[in-house]
Homo-oligomer: A and B are copies of this chain.
Amino acid sequence: MSATIKDVAKHANVSIATVSRIINKKPGFSPETEQKVLDSIQALGYQPNALARGLINKDTQTIGVLFPAVSNMFASEVLSGIEEYANEMGSSVIVCNTAEDGERTLKYLQVLSEKRVDGIIIVSEYIKEEYYKALSEMKIPKVLVSSISFEYPIPYVKVDDRHASFSAVNYLIGKGHRKIAMIAGNSTDPIAGVPRIEGYMAALRANGIEPSNDMIIHCDGFGHKDGVQAMKDIMDRDMDITAVFASSDELAVGAMSHAIRHGIRVPDDLSVMGYDDTKLAEMMIPSLTTVAQPLYEMGLMAATMLFDMKSSGAVIESRIMNHKIMERETVKNLL
């Protein structure tokens, strides 16, 4: 994964704001600090984006962020990155919890429009026609996070879900697993459902294993209780597997939890792998091996793009962030 502004800040032992200001050639730093940051930028090979400049005065210095749920760990880490960058740019963040409710989402877009926000970031939401209509009328920058629209031209920040899922399953195969079930979450979800299933199947095929639909467990959603239910199904069907790959950390943890309660040892009897790398993964016992989406970074990047679009007026290209296998304790090496 290439170096980020956060890495530079850590390396130089200064705040992200300081790095940002030095990149933007703003005054108020000692030559030592400046040199330290420039050295860190060079040492890490960091390539800054052109950061937003010259915000027009009629700005409200407020952006809106729409989430399907404010209280899940995924959303709050993304929000944290957005808020950090917005704060550096002197802007405030209005949070909107859509609860995956279409009417509520439209109402929020209406409110944000009335409040004349400078831009909108939409996290993990599928863009329906009526949303796009409302968004276009606003004529302000918008960026998607962990989402993508084929119908409408909105730039996005996400990992490549198909690729990340492929990497995860390939990792399991590399550890000697060949009988791998997938807990797919809501498999009709165009972002977190379909592409991750495709990545799973592609990885199996690439390793000469024919995927079977029976090995894919479909759930209502991506939460803990869905994972519990999925593992119940797996055990009821007495599936002959050595590993499970789940489409979210919460699914993985729910599955682990049910398995462990029923005497299945993780990873001795069953390996488990998640997707997201929320803080939950690290705190679990055993800690969860997972595919990391750089959530905080994705928030930071989305906000950067939003302000770049605002200052330049140009349409910004979408970004595919690098995913990464986080090796922890839930995958057994069978080799």
User: CB of A136 within 8 A of chain B?
Assistant: no
Q: Which residues 269-316 of A sit at the B interface, judged by CB distance below 8 A?
A: 279-280, 282-285, 287, 296
Complex alpha-carbon distance, A260 and B329, angstroms = 13
User: CB of A2 within 8 A of chain B?
Assistant: no
Q: Of the candidates B71, B84, B256, which one forms a contact with A79 in the assembled complex, judged by CB atoms under 8 Å apart?
A: B71
In the assembled complex, which residues on chain B have CB atoms less than 8 Å from the CB atom of A296?
A: 71
Q: Output the least CB separation between A55 and chain B (Å).
A: 14
Q: Whose C-beta in chain B lies nearest to the C-beta of A17? A: B104
**Which of A39-47, A92-100, A192-200, A212-220 makes up part of the contact surface?**
A92-100
User: CB of A125 within 8 A of chain B?
Assistant: no
User: CB of A62 within 8 A of chain B?
Assistant: yes
Complex alpha-carbon distance, A234 and B285, angstroms = 19
Number of interface residues of A (CB under 8 A): 43
In the assembled complex, which residues on chain B have CB atoms less than 8 Å from the CB atom of A134?
A: none
User: CB of A127 within 8 A of chain B?
Assistant: no
Structural contact, A71 and B77, CB atoms closer than 8 A: yes
In the assembled complex, which residues on chain B have CB atoms less than 8 Å from the CB atom of A287?
A: 257
Secondary structure dominating the interface of A: helix
- Pick from A72, A260, A285 the residue with the most CB of B within 10 Å: A285
Structural contact, A94 and B97, CB atoms closer than 8 A: no
Structural contact, A253 and B97, CB atoms closer than 8 A: no
How many subunits of this chain does the assembly comprise?
2
Interface code A57-77, partner B: CB below 8 Å = 1, 0 otherwise? 000011010000111110111
In the assembled complex, which residues on chain B have CB atoms less than 8 Å from the CB atom of A79?
A: 70-71, 95
Complex alpha-carbon distance, A224 and B87, angstroms = 27
Q: Whose C-beta in chain B lies nearest to the C-beta of A287? A: B257
User: CB of A83 within 8 A of chain B?
Assistant: yes
In the assembled complex, which residues on chain B have CB atoms less than 8 Å from the CB atom of A257?
A: 283, 285, 287
Complex alpha-carbon distance, A104 and B115, angstroms = 24
Structural contact, B282 and A280, CB atoms closer than 8 A: no
Q: Output the least CB separation between A259 and chain B (Å).
A: 9
In the assembled complex, which residues on chain B have CB atoms less than 8 Å from the CB atom of A33?
A: none
User: CB of A111 within 8 A of chain B?
Assistant: yes
Q: Of the candidates B70, B83, B256, B280, which one forms a contact with A83 in the assembled complex, judged by CB atoms under 8 Å apart?
A: B70
Complex alpha-carbon distance, A61 and B94, angstroms = 12
User: CB of A149 within 8 A of chain B?
Assistant: no
With contact pairs A92-B111, A94-B94 given, residues A224 and B285 touching in the complex (Cβ less than 8 Å): no
Q: Output the least CB separation between A84 and chain B (Å).
A: 7
Complex alpha-carbon distance, A94 and B97, angstroms = 12
Structural contact, A73 and B70, CB atoms closer than 8 A: no
Contact surface of A with B, Cβ cutoff 8 Å = 61-62, 64, 69-73, 75-77, 79-80, 83-84, 87, 90, 92-97, 104, 111-112, 115, 224, 250, 253-254, 256-257, 260-261, 279-280, 282-285, 287, 296
Shortest 4 CB-CB contacts between residues of A and residues of B: A71-B80, A76-B76, A71-B76, A92-B94
